[in-house]
């Protein structure tokens, strides 16, 4: 078995170009995806700030107060445009995330409100939201959630300013406010605008590096399958099968080197993520060890099963790539798992990739990683690996026993 291990390592390490691509390709993907999505995920690029363009067609004192209130919010980076056409062009060119339009009828519609409308927004004119006051929010088609956030926060500011305006215009509430001001119960500047504190989330590369590490770890499936095919074409397996080695020794000797290569690849990719991209390894980096081991084991188990299933190089390219990419897409390697629907997140647990991502997330993102969660994820991956290995062993053992039996029958016929 160890002789086969040494032989496999020589073959794998002798192909320098393939070894470089095995590491360089994931790094290139991480860098490209990081640059392309840094606006969305990277905490260093202020992921809590939304670029908003404001168009004030009403040009009244009330609308000016609303624009100032929206500008002061920490969530928004506000720019003012004079015309709606310019704002729409800016939105179409992706120069902003959303456009807030205060229409020319804003002041007139606010003047029609009474204190009851402001106090109960579930019924009456304000039940229609901003549109009832001739205020509109337009967002990028791909940023509907961002548009909803802008609309909600803008409605809060509009409601607060309108409530104060309506109260001053109504006789009863105006008298009440004057009495409170005389008693010194109301400050001249009014209540301060609330700016909710935002906790910094995980960095961009804490999302990307583990995802693409897991995705490319399972690409070793095609390498293992092609290794078995090459052995068949060179008739090396025929020579090994007639030796006194058992099938288990042969398969372990073929599998162990790929486990080592996969483990080295995953470790190196995480190290590159820390050195080049500044990824944090969390407060308990030692918990990465079981996740790395189980990920490499599951990937190589799937590789052995694929090698036992395919018969030609075309099947390796078709089946191997299809299986790896499908599992990666379902599990959340290509799209962060928290972006997947709840049903999809549950279904994705049927593939080992999802358990690997859960383990990496617990170690790299959680402020207090839990060892029991990491252990559960690692055991789940190991169970997948054992299942893949057993199926691969069974298929190859049957195929080799049939080959040996047919070979002996041929020899007996020739001797006869």
**b/e for 277-286, b at 16 or more Cβ within 10 A?**
bebebbebee
Q: 3-state class of 51 per DSSP?
A: strand
Radius of gyration of the chain (CA): 32
Give pLDDT, residue 183: 53
Cα three-residue angle 272-273-275, rounded to 5 degrees = 60
Q: How far is CA 248 from CA 12, 39, 262, 392, 393, in A?
A: 21, 51, 21, 11, 8
d(CA 415, CA 42): 73
Please tell me what DSSP assigns to residue 340: S
Give pLDDT, residue 379: 96
d(CA 305, CA 396): 9
Q: Is 131 exposed, middle or buried (0-12, 13-18, 19+ CB in 10 A)?
A: exposed
Instruction: Extract the tokens encoding 132.
Output: 């009832």
Please, are residues 346 and 204 in contact by the beta-carbon 8 Å criterion? no
* Domain regions of the chain by residue span: 2-41+205-415, 48-182
Beta strand pairing call for 50-56 and 76-81? parallel
Q: Within 13 Å of residue 381, how many CA atoms lie on the same side as its CB?
A: 29
Give pLDDT, residue 355: 95
Region for residue 243 given its phi and psi (left: phi exceeds 0; alpha: psi -120 to 50; beta: otherwise): beta
| pTM: predicted TM-score of the whole model, two decimal places | 0.61
Which residues are registered as beta bridge partners of 138?
Answer: 99
Per residue of the chain (416 residues), what is the pLDDT tens digit? 777 778 777 777 777 776 677 777 787 877 777 666 655 554 444 445 788 999 999 988 888 988 998 888 888 889 999 888 998 888 888 888 889 999 999 888 888 887 777 777 777 778 878 888 889 898 877 677 788 888 888 888 888 887 777 767 666 555 555 565 555 544 444 444 444 433 444 567 788 889 889 998 998 888 888 888 887 777 776 677 677 777 778 788 888 888 988 998 899 889 888 888 888 888 899 999 999 999 999 999 999 999 888 888 888 888 888 888 899 989 988 877 877 888 888 889 999 999 999 999 999 988 888 999 999 999 999 999 999 999 988 888 777 665 555 544 444 444 45
Phi, psi of 197 (to 5 degrees): -75, 140
Cα three-residue angle 126-127-129, rounded to 5 degrees = 65
Please, are residues 84 and 37 in contact by the beta-carbon 8 Å criterion? no
Give pLDDT, residue 189: 45
Helices and strands (DSSP H and E) totals, the chain:
18, 4
Give pLDDT, residue 79: 92
Instruction: Extract the tokens encoding 341.
Output: 């629907």
Provide the CATH topology of domain 48-182: D-Maltodextrin-Binding Protein; domain 2 (3.40.190)
d(CA 38, CA 184): 50
d(CA 98, CA 53): 6
Instruction: Extract the tokens encoding 412.
Output: 């007996």
């Amino acid at each position: 078995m160890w002789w086969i291990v040494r032989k496999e390592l020589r073959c794998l390490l002798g192909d320098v170009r393939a070894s470089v691509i095995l590491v360089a390709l994931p790094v290139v993907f991480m860098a490209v995806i990081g640059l392309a999505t840094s606006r969305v995920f990277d905490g260093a690029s202020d992921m809590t700030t939304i670029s908003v363009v404001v168009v004030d067609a009403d040009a009244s004192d009330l609308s000016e107060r609303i624009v100032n209130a929206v500008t002061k919010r920490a969530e928004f980076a506000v720019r003012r445009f004079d015309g709606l056409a310019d704002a729409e062009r800016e939105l179409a060119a992706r120069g902003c995330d959303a456009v807030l339009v205060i229409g020319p009828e804003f002041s007139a519609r606010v003047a029609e409100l009474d204190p009851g409308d402001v106090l109960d927004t579930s019924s009456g004119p304000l039940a229609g939201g901003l549109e009832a006051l001739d205020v509109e929010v337009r967002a990028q088609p791909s940023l509907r959630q961002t548009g909803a956030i802008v609309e909600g926060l803008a409605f809060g500011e509009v409601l607060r300013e309108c409530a104060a305006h309506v109260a001053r215009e109504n006789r009863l509430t105006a008298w009440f406010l004057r009495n409170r001001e005389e008693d010194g119960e109301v400050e001249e500047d009014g209540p301060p605008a609330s700016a909710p504190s935002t906790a910094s989330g995980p960095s961009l590369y804490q999302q990307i590096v583990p995802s693409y590490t897991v995705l490319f770890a399972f690409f070793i499936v095609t390498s293992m399958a092609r290794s078995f095919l090459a052995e068949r074409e060179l008739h090396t397996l025929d020579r090994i099968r007639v030796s006194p080695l058992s099938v288990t020794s042969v398969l372990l000797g073929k599998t162990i080197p790929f486990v080592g290569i996969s483990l080295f690849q995953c470790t190196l990719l995480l190290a590159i993520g820390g050195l080049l991209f500044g990824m944090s390894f969390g407060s308990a980096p030692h918990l990465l060890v079981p996740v790395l081991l189980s990920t490499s084991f599951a990937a190589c188990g799937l590789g052995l099963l694929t090698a036992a299933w395919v018969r030609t190089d075309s099947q390796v390219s078709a089946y191997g790539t299809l299986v790896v990419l499908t599992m990666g897409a379902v599990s959340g390697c290509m799209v962060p798992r928290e972006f997947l629907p709840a049903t999809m997140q549950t279904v994705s647990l049927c593939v080992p990739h999802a358990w690997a991502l859960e383990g990496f997330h617990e170690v790299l993102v959680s402020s207090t990683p839990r060892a029991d969660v990491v252990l559960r994820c690692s055991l789940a991956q190991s169970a997948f690996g054992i299942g893949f290995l057993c199926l691969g062993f069974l298929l190859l053992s049957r195929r080799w026993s049939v080959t040996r039996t047919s070979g002996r029958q041929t020899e007996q016929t020739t001797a006869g």
